[in-house]
């Protein structure tokens, strides 16, 4: 592929280090700064293909990992992979059955962009809200959530929704984000949860 990004220094580093995508360094950066994932955590990765975040997560936790994406994820040891739309009820149910206890949800997903700014931003916000709603079903109380988004119309409203569900919420740019991009990450810690949900009360 003759992309301008083939000359990107971080892209070249990802090839040398054996990561499937340059986005691996974004998760490394986020975890170093915010301590999202602990050694015993079970983690679900929404929009996981090609699997670079799963590669990084394997070095961060000894817990169970699951990645889901519309595109097949090349298998890796000790990782459950699901091919399908994480917004679809049947896929969500499958994930809930496979992962009865989840400490962390990460989501680096974004829709295919058309170049029409307003249309693309609306689709990004819709996907973010879908990811947030599913995360509420997955996470135990006190769990953490990382989600990629793009600053623009309705972004502040999205952040407010996250703040209703987590005690600590930050918006940051990862160091590996390309210059000029509106890409950002919402870092949400300590999920408020539902005190009546026994599934989320399981001790670590």
Q: Binding-site residues, please? A: 51, 53, 69, 85, 108
Q: Is 148 a catalytic residue?
A: yes
* Binding-site residue positions for S-adenosyl-L-methionine: 51, 53, 69, 85, 108
Q: Which stretches of the chain are assigned E, i.e. beta strand?
A: 43-46, 65-69, 79-83, 102-107, 139-150, 166-172, 183-191
Catalytic position from the list 26, 148, 189, 200: 148
Task: Catalogue the long-range contacts made by 155-160 (C-beta closer than 8 Å, 24 or more residues apart).
Answer: 155/125, 158/125, 158/128, 158/129, 158/132, 158/186, 159/186
Q: Known catalytic residues?
A: 148
């Amino acid at each position: 592929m003759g992309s301008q990004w083939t000359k990107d220094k971080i892209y070249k580093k990802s090839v040398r280090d054996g990561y499937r995508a340059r986005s691996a360094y974004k998760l490394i950066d986020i975890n170093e700064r915010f301590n999202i994932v602990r050694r015993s955590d079970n983690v679900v990765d929404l929009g996981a293909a090609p699997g670079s975040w799963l590669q990084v997560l394997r070095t961060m936790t000894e817990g169970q990992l699951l990645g889901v994406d519309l595109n097949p994820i090349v298998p890796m040891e000790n990782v459950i992979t699901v091919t399908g739309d994480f917004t679809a009820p049947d896929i969500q149910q499958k994930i809930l059955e496979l992962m009865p206890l989840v400490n962390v949800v990460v989501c680096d997903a974004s829709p295919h962009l058309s170049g029409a700014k307003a249309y693309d931003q609306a689709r990004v916000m819709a996907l973010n809200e879908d990811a947030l709603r599913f995360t509420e079903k997955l996470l135990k109380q006190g769990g953490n959530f990382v989600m990629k988004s793009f600053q623009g119309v309705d972004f502040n409203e999205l952040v407010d929704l996250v703040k209703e569900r987590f005690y600590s919420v930050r918006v940051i740019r990862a160091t590996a984000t390309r210059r000029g991009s509106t890409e950002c990450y919402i870092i949400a810690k300590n999920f408020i949860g539902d005190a009546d949900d026994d599934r989320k009360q399981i001790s670590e």
